[in-house]
Structure 1
Amino acid sequence: MSQPFSLQPLLELMQNRADEATRQLGQLIAAEQNARSRLQMLEQYRAEYADRLRDAIAQGMTRPVLANYQDFLARIDEAIGQQTAVVRQSESNTSHGQQHWKEQNTRLKAIDTLAVRHETRERQLEEKRAQKILDEFSARKYARGDTKADD
């Protein structure tokens, strides 16, 4: 009879941790993509607004209107700066999440390797037991003189 893998609870725990790390990494990657998308949208909006300002300057405008354009561009630039910081933080979080995911999977693979070795060892023991039983059966049969050849 084969013995159960004594580290099975640990294997299951490591599988759960690896699954959780995978889920978290997926969330971090999604958050990073979202932050990049927002940054790209702000940069595109700023470029469009700067084009409008150039067009308005070419057509002529009053100082208060120019000041409003410049003030709004400054606020967009500030938002871009803040979003750039969010993207950098998100990149850092994703990097840490990737490292955590790698560590969890390395640990899982180590325990899984032990489980595979255990299964192999148990299978070999079972095969030896079965061979021993066959050998004993053959030895008894031979000892009784039941060695007729079937023609």
Structure 2
Amino acid sequence: MSTSNTLALLLEHAERERDAALAAHGEAQAALARAQSQADDLVQYRASYQQRWIGEAQNGVGIETFQCVHSFAERLSQALGQQGQLIQVLESRWNATRDALQQRELRVASLKKLIERRQSEALQIAQRQDQKLNDEWAARAHRSLTP
């Protein structure tokens, strides 16, 4: 197998790996966005829940109702804490996929540059060989014309 074929296969493989890394990065980004949106929804729900119960508490509520409201507010806070932890995990995953994607893109760019360099070298060699042949033909033609 020639070097150019080997490099082409390596480039093809590197591009597939880059495409897979790009897909994984997109999925990680989407998961992070969904988790952040859910956290925002929880914050808004908790705020509206608290507003509603502050208004009702001014009218007077029983101790059991107050305890239920307080317990639910604590569970909402716990859910927000868990969502925050999930967001941290997803941010770490997103960062890891971003780093992997950058590495794959660098590999593809490096292989493309190497292929370009090899093609340029091959072209220079071919041009030198053509020039050498032309010089030889010119020398022969000159010798055959000179008595």
Q: Same fold (TM over 0.5)?
A: yes
**Residues 1:110 and 2:73 are matched in the alignment:** no
Instruction: Report if the CA contact (8 A) 2:4-2:115 is conserved.
Output: no
Instruction: Report if the CA contact (8 A) 1:43-1:80 is conserved.
Output: yes
Distance 1:103 1:4, change over 3 A: closer
1:117-136 CA-partner distances (Å, limit 9, x unpaired): 11111111222233234334
> Following TM superposition, by how much is the alpha carbon of 1:113 offset from its aligned partner in structure 2, in angstroms?
2.3
Instruction: Report if the CA contact (8 A) 1:3-1:122 is conserved.
Output: no
Inter-partner Cα distance in structure 1 for 2:139 and 2:59: 109
Q: Paired residue for 1:134? A: 134
* 1:13-92 pair list within 5 angstroms: 13-92=13-92
Q: Which amino acid aligns with 1:121?
A: E
> Following TM superposition, by how much is the alpha carbon of 1:144 offset from its aligned partner in structure 2, in angstroms?
4.3
Distance 1:127 1:46, change over 3 A: same
Inter-partner Cα distance in structure 1 for 2:135 and 2:51: 91
> Following TM superposition, by how much is the alpha carbon of 1:112 offset from its aligned partner in structure 2, in angstroms?
2.3
Distance 1:49 1:122, change over 3 A: same
Q: Structure 1 regions of 5+ residues with no counterpart?
A: 146-151
Instruction: Report if the CA contact (8 A) 2:21-2:100 is conserved.
Output: yes
Q: Which amino acid aligns with 2:22?
A: T
> Following TM superposition, by how much is the alpha carbon of 1:72 offset from its aligned partner in structure 2, in angstroms?
1.7
> Following TM superposition, by how much is the alpha carbon of 1:5 offset from its aligned partner in structure 2, in angstroms?
4.5
Q: Per the alignment, in what secondary structure is the counterpart of residue 112 of structure 1? A: helix
> Following TM superposition, by how much is the alpha carbon of 1:140 offset from its aligned partner in structure 2, in angstroms?
4.0
Between Structure 1 and Structure 2, which shows a larger proportion of helix residues?
Answer: 2
Give the TM-score normalised by structure 1: 0.83
> Following TM superposition, by how much is the alpha carbon of 1:137 offset from its aligned partner in structure 2, in angstroms?
3.9
Distance 1:58 1:3, change over 3 A: closer
Give the TM-score normalised by structure 2: 0.85
